[in-house]
Amino acid sequence: MRDVKTARRKRRARLEQRMSGRIPKAPGRTLDPARRLRGLVDQEEDAPAQGRQSFANDVSARLGPRGRFLAAAIFIGALITGADIFWERYSNQTAVSADHTNAAQVGLGHSLYDQHCAFCHGADLAGKQGWDGEFPDGGRPAVPLDGTAPIWRLSDRDIFDVVKFGGQPFSPASYRNEMPAFETALADADIWAILAFIKSRWPEATHTRQKEATDESG
């Protein structure tokens, strides 16, 4: 603060000195030109000090109208993106069906599939070799989920149930079904997401066959 005052005083003195020779003292004028100058200098010094008062004003002034518009647009864009991500997460966590056209649900399903299913069913959903042999007592290797095996005979709800409760409850007691249950490992919405991912890998013909097969059986 002291520095500002000293600088101001010095500057005023310099100005007074420079101007004193030029402004003739009008006869009868009471206003001392030095005092007028002092007023001008004080005004000049005060103006930028006021601008510095608030950081926001300063930034806003620096940005200019276009900059302000851009800044507002970026801010609003960030808000919308945040809301969108939140909504996607929320709707994925509360899903009660599989939508293979929903990229967010399919994306979540893909990562969950890799963690929980790829080990047996293959990262490419192709299942294990020899799955299509005869296994009257059970012990069938993991079947393909990509549509090459007749998975289309099951409705979405049936597939969901097999994943949630395992294969055994839906098999004869004498048959050993080795599809494990995921009831404790996965939330319902996670299972729907995995199903959305699996269905996103089906050829169109498999979608059509599933519709026909499951519509017929009611």
Binding site for ligand HEC (CB under 6 A): 116-117, 119-121, 138, 140-143, 145, 149, 151, 154, 159, 162-163, 167, 177-180, 182, 194
Task: Count Cα neighbours of 61 within 13 Å in the Cβ-side half-sphere.
Answer: 10
Q: Which is nearer to ligand HEC, 19 or 154 (CB)?
A: 154
Rounded to the nearest whole angstrom, what is the least distance from the CB of residue 91 to ligand HEC in the complex? 20
Q: Which is nearer to ligand HEC, 53 or 174 (CB)?
A: 174
Rounded to the nearest whole angstrom, what is the least distance from the CB of residue 88 to ligand HEC in the complex? 21
- How far is C-alpha 128 from the chain's CA centre? 36
60 close to 68: Cβ distance less than 8 angstroms: yes
146 close to 113: Cβ distance less than 8 angstroms: no
92 close to 108: Cβ distance less than 8 angstroms: yes
Q: Which is nearer to ligand HEC, 37 or 187 (CB)?
A: 187
Rounded to the nearest whole angstrom, what is the least distance from the CB of residue 107 to ligand HEC in the complex? 16
Helix (H) or strand (E) holding 215, with range, is: helix 204-216
Q: Which is nearer to ligand HEC, 88 or 178 (CB)?
A: 178
